[in-house]
């Protein structure tokens, strides 16, 4: 007999989370391919299973096209997750989807490195290329 996972249904609506808008500003050098690296070393969210806090560093590496990310709005976006229960893998995917939707970059790489829990560090990497 197959047992049901106690994780079942915990992240059912994760893709529908209403997050703060990530704002952008117009890139005056859309003809130039260059990279921007953003480090967010104090990210926090909640483990959806235990309710305990998770701590991570998020690194965003992107090559803008028409728009660049406005950093204060990105900060407000990341703060939103402070009280949200979300799996590490879902967080990386959600951030990537929202980032691409906001600025439509040439490419972007999101790396989330979660602090060890139970002796295990989790790193999730997602990439998007036009």
Mind telling me the catalytic residues?
A: 47, 54
Strand partners of residue 45:
54
Rounding to the nearest 10 degrees, give the CA dihedral for residues 73, 75, 80, 85: 140
Q: For residues 20 and 125, what is the distance between their CA atoms, to the nearest angstrom?
A: 22
Q: Is the dihedral of CA 46, 60, 80, 99 positive or negative?
A: negative
Q: For residues 115 and 122, what is the distance between their CA atoms, to the nearest angstrom?
A: 7
């Amino acid at each position: 007999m197959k047992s049901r996972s106690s994780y079942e249904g915990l992240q059912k609506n994760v893709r529908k989370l209403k997050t703060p808008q990530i704002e952008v500003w117009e890139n005056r050098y859309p003809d130039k391919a260059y990279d921007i690296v953003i480090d967010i070393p104090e990210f926090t969210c909640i483990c959806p299973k235990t309710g305990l806090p998770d701590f991570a560093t998020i690194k965003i590496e992107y090559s803008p096209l028409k728009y660049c990310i406005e950093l204060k709005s990105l900060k407000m976006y990341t703060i939103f997750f402070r009280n949200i229960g979300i799996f590490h893998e879902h967080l990386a995917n959600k951030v990537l989807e929202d980032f691409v939707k906001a600025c439509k970059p040439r490419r972007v790489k999101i790396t989330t490195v979660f602090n060890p829990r139970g002796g295990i560090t989790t790193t999730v990497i997602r990439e998007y290329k036009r």
